[in-house]
Amino acid sequence: MWDKKKLLTIDELSRKDIELILETSGILEPHASKGKLQLCRGEILANVFFEPSTRTEKSFQAAMHRLGGDVIMHKDPGSSREKGESKLDTLRVLEQYSDIMAVRDPETYSLQQYAETLALPIINAGDGSNEHPTQALLDLYTVLKEKGSMENLSIVFTGDLKFGRTVHSLIKALRKFPGNRFFGISPETLELPVDLKGGDYEEILFEDMYGIRPDIVYATRIQKERMVSWAGEKFSYEINNDVLRKLPSTARIMHPLPRVNELNPEIDSDPRVIPFKQVKYGMVVRMALLALMLGHEKELPSQGLSN
């Protein structure tokens, strides 16, 4: 039985919790592309984004509508934040109008303070360079759908591994499942933080990837917005047709988006390239989280995991 009223970090979730979220996602997936369920009828999600977003913001919004609920959107332009209102006061106001809240903030670890003050359920929609737990969950669902397992996989991460919060959360999540190995390809100044490295992690060169024959290649962009300056404007680990020809037919290329120059559009038609499947599954997984955190586990449709 789900009893959690906050999701701030993947660390808060056990393997059993993750499996329940993914199982619930499978139940809800057939309902994610047509019609509306009424699980959250009469309930309101406050979607609060102090930082720009496309996929996370819109998928939370779509997820709540698919569940039959409503959404209050907040962005700073046009709000009292322009008059100097603090973020916390803004959240306390929106708390009065809603039943659950998803918050994105450019400040690392800020969600912990908000959760300690607010009484309603709260979901971390990305806090600075720290974590993005719902992205990790949709990535896990994608891996499960594509590979059939979340165990004994070889995963290569490329790009900005220092500030890439999606990478941080995904590594933490995959470590809850046995046998996974991780490989990092990044510029010298953008390596994975030391506290996330371990015996299952190895830094490699781009060309070393082919010998590994990875199950997953997870590409990320350079997070320039997290830096005072970035001198490596021409830096790129571009995955193009030449790269794909050297990767196994069973490999899958993932990216949390937005992409800049990491994935050449020429590869988009290759079935191994699945960022837009991740986008699709993002709404499904966020539907599951909203349903569980609002206490609707016993009201779920009776369907099992979809194929």
Identify whether residues 151 and 90 lie together within a single domain: no
Read off the tokens for 270: 């290759």
pLDDT score of 131: 87
Q: Which of 34, 83, 234, 245 does the annotation list as catalytic?
A: 83
- Residue 233 inside a domain? The answer is yes
Quote the percentage of the chain above a pLDDT of 70: 93
Q: Give me the domain span that covers residue 180.
A: 133-278
Identify whether residues 166 and 72 lie together within a single domain: no
Identify whether residues 235 and 179 lie together within a single domain: yes
The arithmetic mean of pLDDT across residues 231-239, rounded, is 65
Domains in the chain, number? 2
Identify whether residues 154 and 263 lie together within a single domain: yes
Q: Which of 31, 74, 104, 168 does the annotation list as catalytic?
A: 104
Identify whether residues 93 and 141 lie together within a single domain: no
The answer to whether 162 is a known catalytic residue is no
Q: Which of 6, 66, 74, 132 does the annotation list as catalytic?
A: 132
CATH number of the domain that residue 165 is part of? 3.40.50.1370
Identify whether residues 78 and 141 lie together within a single domain: no
Angle of the 275-293 helix axis to the 133-147 helix axis, nearest 10: 120
- Residue 306 inside a domain? The answer is no
Identify whether residues 158 and 267 lie together within a single domain: yes
Residues 6+ apart with CB under 8 A from 174: 140, 150, 153, 155, 180, 182
CA-CA distance, 102 to 46, in Å (whole number)? Answer: 6
The answer to whether 132 is a known catalytic residue is yes
- Residue 19 inside a domain? The answer is yes
- Residue 307 inside a domain? The answer is no
Lowest mean pLDDT among 42-51, 224-233, 251-260: 224-233
Q: Do 300 and 24 contact (CB within 8 A), yes or no?
A: yes
pLDDT score of 33: 82
pLDDT score of 304: 41
Identify whether residues 215 and 182 lie together within a single domain: yes
pLDDT score of 2: 81
Identify whether residues 124 and 227 lie together within a single domain: no
The answer to whether 66 is a known catalytic residue is no
Lowest mean pLDDT among 8-12, 71-75, 235-239, 240-244: 235-239
β-strand partners of 183 = 156, 202
pTM for the whole thing? Answer: 0.92
- Residue 92 inside a domain? The answer is yes
- Residue 61 inside a domain? The answer is yes
Q: Which of 5, 55, 92, 272 does the annotation list as catalytic?
A: 55
Q: Which of 6, 9, 31, 56 does the annotation list as catalytic?
A: 56
Identify whether residues 55 and 98 lie together within a single domain: yes
The answer to whether 56 is a known catalytic residue is yes
